[in-house]
Structure 1
Amino acid sequence: MKKKHLLFRNKNFFLLWSGQLISNIGTIFYRIAYMWWITRASGSPLIVSQIVLLSILPGIFFGMIAGKFSDKFNQKWIIVITDLLQGLVILWITIVAFRRKLHLYHFYITAMLSSLLISFFRPAIFTAIPRLVAKEDLVVANSLHSLSKNFSNILGPALSGIIVATLGVEIAFLINALSFLISAFAELFIQMPESQRKHKEEKKNKSFIADIKESFVQVLNIPIARYGIIIFGMVNFLLTPLNLITFVAEKLNVGANGYGILQTSEGIGLMGISMILGTEFVKKRLKPGRMNVLAISLLAGSIIIVGLSNIFILTCLAQLLIGIAVGMAAILLNSSLQTHIDKECLGMFVGIRNMVMDFLMPLGLLLNGFFANLYSVNLILVVSGILMFSNLVWILKFNGAISKKESQNVDTIEA
């Protein structure tokens, strides 16, 4: 773990990481609290589904605009402003809750505004990380970034449950609002290196829409970026059947406690691989290309096991391996993309990727619901796992594109 401690000496990265850890925990508090409030107020799962849908739409419609913003403007100020506005939005609904005037439409408005801000935040933080840390530390940085989210997902629900039960949803809302404001304040002290934009004078008089179109074409013409978008889109689409894991728990006859253990197993896998990747021991032996192939193979095989297994312990182990595989693939792929895509169009890449993922996720959920009425959930999982193996084709293309670019860089240096 020595390398992680050394990275924490990077003041700028530490401010970014600690701010996100605090706001991630706060977000879990808010999510548990609002779901509890809606369940008690309406008892309708449809309301929760509508809020989830409203949370997805801004990412689809504003993904490329947000990505271009990240490339065009200082990422630090995008991160600070979006966190600040997030805090103010949640503070607004907190005040409404304390005044006992909370209605369902308040959550609809909050979901739309928060999701819009997140659409701009995600490309900015993805682009900021390679500007704040050295290239050789990107895997460590991304593993720590992943660790903060996974730690929040494991710790947050338990703590928020206690807060909601003892102090009420209003306090949970307030904690989330304060977490964003504290995060924004910490991020004010980040010193972001200035980007060296090419052809600045040529683009000065170009319209923003024309700039977006040009960047869109530029990103899709980069093989590494193109394959990365396909891989992330397909993997997330084929992971959606895991949302039906409640039916697997029911078949195994393990009840709500068993369902909780299955979910926790995946979380432990995600957190464990985030802690392991980037350590000095692993870094010396890291072969990202081979590990990407391993991760997708492990993910596909584990999903098939979840679909076929009638043994609870074996299903838990498969869920643990799914967490490990997802974490490994995400950290290594993101690190490679941050290394090999030009920083001046990295934001647009993230915007396009997130737009594709946000579109495919509800589509996957819709198809899963449709086929679950015709076939068993276990069969859907097995088919999903088999289809996941097809991603190996794109992983190999991705690895080949990286090798080609690295060899071109070597030739350029030698010349």
Structure 2
Amino acid sequence: MENAKKKINKNLVLLLLGRGVSDLGASIQMIVMPLYILDMGGSAATVGLYSFLALATVLVYPLAGVAGDRFNRKMIMVATDFASAGVILLLFVCAYFHWLNLTIVLVAQILIAVLNGLFDPATKGMVPQIVEQSQLTKVNSGISALRTLSVLLGAAIGSMLYAGVGVTVLFLLNGISFLLSAGSEMLISYRHVKRNERHDAKGNSPGLLADVLDGIRFILHNRVIGKLCAYFLLTFAFIQPIFNVVMPVFFRGSLGYSDIHYGYLQMVIIIGALLGSILVGALFGKSIQLKKSLTIGCSLMAGILVFFTVLLFPFCLEILGNDTIIYFLLLAVVLCLLSAVLMFIHIPVQTYIQIATPHDYMSHIFSIVGMITKGGMPLGALLYGFILEKVAVHWMMLFTTLLTLMISGFFLSSLLKSDQIG
């Protein structure tokens, strides 16, 4: 038992080490690329297109889920990391010889997004196989915290490195980070268990579409997972765009702070997600306690949304001022708390799905969950953008808060009646 435990710990360390290194490199590049595109002569529309192309991740998820259950997950992870390194190192070569242009940058974004889409379901499917079930919540919290920390460090040092060494060196460093990640994953002790293939009346194995539909049917037949996926869609479509759509519009249109203050708010949001991930691991790391964590998370989210909405109303700005330290601190605290409590929803839901899903369906299900999370944010952002053209930001947030309160109340009451979860 001791040897098995050491083996599992070694595998987890190797996985976390690889992800931490490559996530840091990817985060630095993600922060820098909009600046580089503008410096190349691109417009705001080009930056928007560059971000939109990340949706290629969502389009490849159905294929990625099937591949993650049919083939060796470790080999998928290693292969996609090596391929990502190859794409980014090609960007380095193009930048070094001054061949780089906007077309190459946009094509590279599509390729990297596709590779990320192939990588993600395989990773989430592997974690329950190398970690004891009782440790899943703590491990998922650690993975979330590590990823958030990578984004935080990327945001902190990305622009400084860009100004100091230029994008060419950053491409090189990011490419090397993916090579290190692949090397770390190659050392993981993992044995692929071939799934039991289902055959039709003629003895033929199911095709890609049949496998995708099989995963959808599994979610629809598992009422708890179906409800959790639906609530996931709500939080990613309605709540996440608050950070990247509502806040920029409100900050530019109603507040009198500098761009430096806006940067501080973005850092606070990331720190909130990091603290929330750590808290979930500390409070619920020994058992899943889904009902308890979701009740806490949904209740706190509802209260914070109400307070945030009040802060956006003109009367609050008149009382506190739109450029005072008091208002800025209140706004920062609210955004930090909102980002933190979302982890009380996202991490336990992911853990429950990992526990309740058979191994040969694992990547299937997480590919569908990935489509919900990755697709929900841009769709929600698009909806917010259109509505905010016509409606004042405080009225929009009031409607969003009331809708979220009603849906959360219905969701919690339905979940608490279920005897399938603890």
Counterparts of 1:81-160 in structure 2 under 5 Å?
81-160=79-158
Q: Answer yes or no: is 1:266 the counterpart of 2:269.
A: yes
Aligned to 1:386: 402
Unmatched tracts of structure 2, length 5 or more: 312-316, 318-326
Q: Answer yes or no: is 1:278 the counterpart of 2:281.
A: yes
Between 65-74 and 376-385, the greater mean CA deviation after superposition: 376-385
Q: Residue 296 of structure 2 contacts residue 344 of structure 2 at CA under 8 Å; is this kept in 1?
A: no
Aligned counterparts of 1:148 and 1:187: Cα–Cα separation in 2: 16
Aligned to 1:411: none
Listed one character per residue, the Cα deviations across residues 242-286 of structure 1 (whole Å, up to 9, x for unaligned) are 32212333423222122122222221111112223323x654687
Aligned to 2:168: 170
Q: Residue 70 of structure 2 contacts residue 194 of structure 2 at CA under 8 Å; is this kept in 1?
A: no
Aligned counterparts of 2:141 and 2:421: Cα–Cα separation in 1: 24
| Identity percentage of aligned residues | 24
Aligned counterparts of 2:296 and 2:377: Cα–Cα separation in 1: 24
Q: Residue 290 of structure 2 contacts residue 421 of structure 2 at CA under 8 Å; is this kept in 1?
A: no
| Distance of aligned partners of 1:339 and 1:395 in 2 relative to their CA distance in 1, 3 Å threshold | farther
Aligned counterparts of 2:42 and 2:310: Cα–Cα separation in 1: 33
Aligned counterparts of 2:162 and 2:256: Cα–Cα separation in 1: 29
Aligned counterparts of 1:90 and 1:392: Cα–Cα separation in 2: 46
| Distance of aligned partners of 1:208 and 1:188 in 2 relative to their CA distance in 1, 3 Å threshold | same
Aligned counterparts of 1:399 and 1:40: Cα–Cα separation in 2: 53
Q: Residue 231 of structure 1 contacts residue 395 of structure 1 at CA under 8 Å; is this kept in 2?
A: no
**Which runs of at least 4 in structure 1 moved beyond 6 Å after TM superposition?**
6-9, 201-204
| Amino acid aligned to 1:290 | K
CA RMSD of aligned residues (A): 2.3
Q: Answer yes or no: is 1:64 the counterpart of 2:70.
A: no
| Distance of aligned partners of 1:337 and 1:215 in 2 relative to their CA distance in 1, 3 Å threshold | closer
Aligned to 2:348: 332
Unmatched tracts of structure 1, length 5 or more: 1-5, 407-415
Between 186-195 and 299-308, the greater mean CA deviation after superposition: 299-308
| Amino acid aligned to 1:184 | A
| Distance of aligned partners of 1:173 and 1:308 in 2 relative to their CA distance in 1, 3 Å threshold | same
Aligned to 2:320: none
| Distance of aligned partners of 1:326 and 1:161 in 2 relative to their CA distance in 1, 3 Å threshold | same
SS class of match (1:47): helix
| Amino acid aligned to 1:383 | F
TM-score (norm 1): 0.89
Shift of 1:134: 0.3
Work out the number of aligned pairs and report it.
398
Between 123-132 and 347-356, the greater mean CA deviation after superposition: 347-356
Shift of 1:398: 4.4
TM-score (norm 2): 0.88
Aligned counterparts of 2:121 and 2:277: Cα–Cα separation in 1: 21
| Distance of aligned partners of 1:128 and 1:400 in 2 relative to their CA distance in 1, 3 Å threshold | farther
Shift of 1:196: 6.1
| Amino acid aligned to 2:225 | A
| Amino acid aligned to 2:229 | I
Listed one character per residue, the Cα deviations across residues 318-371 of structure 1 (whole Å, up to 9, x for unaligned) are 111111111221111111111112222121111112223333322222221111
Aligned to 1:288: 290
Which of residues 373, 376, 386 in structure 2 aligns to 1:360? 376
Aligned counterparts of 1:315 and 1:196: Cα–Cα separation in 2: 51
| Distance of aligned partners of 1:71 and 1:9 in 2 relative to their CA distance in 1, 3 Å threshold | closer
Q: Residue 288 of structure 2 contacts residue 348 of structure 2 at CA under 8 Å; is this kept in 1?
A: no
